[in-house]
Structure 1
Amino acid sequence: MKNKRIRLKEHILIIDNEESIIIVNKLAIKISKTPNSVNFLNKLKGGASVSDLQYCIGTTAANILIEKLYNNEALIEEWDNNYSHEFYSKQLYYFEQFNENPNLLQERLCNARVAIIGLGGVGGLILQNLTASGISNFVLIDYDQVEIDNLNRQYIYSKESIGYNKIDVAQSYINSINSEAKIITYKKLINSSRDLSEIFYDNKIDIIINAADTPIYIGNIILDFCKKNNIPFLSGKVGISKGTWGPLFNKEIYDQDFSIIDETTLNKYIKRNPIKGSLGATNSILSSFMSYDILLFLMGIIPKSLGNKCIVDFNNLSITTESIGKNISV
């Protein structure tokens, strides 16, 4: 324990007054300002062994303060950034808040395989966020071509993309950021579980993300397939005043007692086509929440949407959750 090297996390706020020093994370810890305490804190900022810290202010005082800082989630074991030359290197310091070596969390992202169905206003933005986070193994599914009216919310496309397949432009976008990415594309409209079986029969996937809105019951088709094949799944969609995502399903959630509303029932009660009104800002809000939950899940951290439907109200900026029910439609 004495040779264990620890340091303050990168994001910890330190308020240095004339008579005291306040260390702020979830709580504020106030210590008297003395030459010894300043030396203790300076060593802790750069990383030090417990024995070095004990030497600064005494064994008992150091142990008490170290325990308080650990309880305040202000400390982390010293680590070197193995990804310091990568474009996503700074996010590893953000990962310090999760109390695990950030290198291990990033490694999980780099090794993850993600499928995205639908590369429009939600799917394209999720693709941007995941690519920027270092995920480089993708299966992309979309049947559409880029059109002029996509450009208000689908930021991976430009005027030069109009008329080209979305899957091809999306692949080029990923490669422009990460030339070593491994990408499989399918120009396909998903109408049944059989369509998914043809794609994923030998593809190991860590999560399937649904960002498509056609046909109207596509979320249920994918959920049924994922449940039968025990593949984690998350779906989301944007309305006029609200957006929803989740529940995020994994084996634990699939084992709960629920049934998926069948296509016949949905067709009976839902008559409208996907809404025409769509704003880039609201697509971005919903996609960012989804992306964050996906990243947490892939790193092994429980996201808010695991087993919960999340609803964001764009007008009052509130978020509510609903636990999984007996009958589900996504």
Structure 2
Amino acid sequence: MSTQSEPFSGLEIERYARHIILPEIGGAGQQKLKNARVLVIGAGGLGSPALLYLAAAGVGHLGIVDDDMVTLSNLQRQVVHHTDSIGENKTDSAAATIHRINPHIEIACHTLRLTPENVTELFSAYDIIVDGSDNFSTRYLVADHAALLEKALVTAAMGRFDGSLTVLKPYESDSEGNPLPHYRDLFPEPPPEGLIPSCAEAGVIGALPAILGSLQAMEVIKLITGIGEPLLGRLLLYDSLSARFETMRYKRRKAADQ
């Protein structure tokens, strides 16, 4: 995390008063949020609520990666965009919205598609990566390079009526000295192309990404402030139709199994 320490203005103190009054966060925790640099991959269904709540929480430096433009069919679930945003770059649309929510934060728009050629330079400027992408190739690219660059990763996926979420720091060990798992310990290889339909093909209920993206924001806040127990080595599963949350533990796979 960045160690710079800029004092809060009076307006910021009032804005974050409900955080600061929490003993677990206080002024010191809010300062950590202000100093943090978080990169959100995708300004779509998952990225929308994550960006909104990270901005509102006072994360001082937010980066947004997306090469897409806002379309009418996005608006059923991508709540960081508006009807008058149709045709705009998603990065610009999202940045405008979160700036209206919190003018005290810095926003960087990366209007590009993440590739093996640009991912290292991009990730190097941030502390935490939030993956809200909607395709397997990007998820594996993000997970592999976040691990390589020792960046904490909060990743989620969804489809139709259910979704999942986990936190990854495979470059660290747990309290017993065991290496924490990698994304590929959970999902060793991408599924064959076409096996799992996209949201455009199978559909997705609009409120689902709001739940998962908000949970991503909560995990980021926990990582930054050091409160609670992040979802390390645990996969959170959510079934919206039964209103059921379940948590599955997973570990680093043995070399012979990889």
Q: What pairs up with 1:45-124 in 2 under 5 angstroms?
A: 85-93=13-21, 95-96=22-23, 98=24, 102-124=26-48
The one-letter code sitting in structure 1 at the alignment partner of 2:164 is T
TM-score scaled by structure 1? Answer: 0.65
Where in structure 1 do 4 or more consecutive aligned residues deviate above 6 Å?
none
Taking the aligned partners of 2:83 and 2:183, their CA distance within structure 1 comes to 44
SS in 2 for 1:246: strand
Alpha carbons of 1:250 and 1:106: their partners in 2 closer, same or farther (altered >3 Å)? farther
* Uncovered stretches (5+) of structure 2, i.e. residues with no partner: 1-9, 254-258
SS in 1 for 2:221: helix
Taking the aligned partners of 1:233 and 1:325, their CA distance within structure 2 comes to 16
Deviation readout 1:222-281 (Å, 9 max, x if unpaired): 1110111111111101222321001332642594365727x9942537633422212221
Q: Does residue 1:246 correspond to 2:166, yes or no?
A: yes
Taking the aligned partners of 2:183 and 2:221, their CA distance within structure 1 comes to 27
On the 8 A contact 1:233/1:250 being kept in 2, the answer is: no
CA drift of 1:185 comes to 1.5
If asked which structure has higher relative contact order (CA below 8 Å, sep 6+), I would say 2
Alpha carbons of 1:153 and 1:105: their partners in 2 closer, same or farther (altered >3 Å)? same
Query: Which residue of the partner structure matches residue 96 of structure 2?
Result: 172
From 146, 151, 158, the counterpart of 1:231: 151
On the 8 A contact 1:248/1:308 being kept in 2, the answer is: no
TM-score scaled by structure 2? Answer: 0.82
Larger Rg: 1
Query: Which residue of the partner structure matches residue 283 of structure 1?
Result: 209
Taking the aligned partners of 1:298 and 1:250, their CA distance within structure 2 comes to 17
Identical positions, percent: 24
Query: Which residue of the partner structure matches residue 129 of structure 2?
Result: 208
Query: Which residue of the partner structure matches residue 322 of structure 1?
Result: 248
Alpha carbons of 1:293 and 1:198: their partners in 2 closer, same or farther (altered >3 Å)? closer
Aligned residues: 239
On the 8 A contact 2:173/2:180 being kept in 1, the answer is: yes
* Uncovered stretches (5+) of structure 1, i.e. residues with no partner: 1-81
Taking the aligned partners of 2:60 and 2:31, their CA distance within structure 1 comes to 11
RMSD of aligned alpha carbons: 2.7
Query: Which residue of the partner structure matches residue 310 of structure 1?
Result: 236
Query: Which residue of the partner structure matches residue 190 of structure 2?
Result: 266
On the 8 A contact 1:136/1:178 being kept in 2, the answer is: no
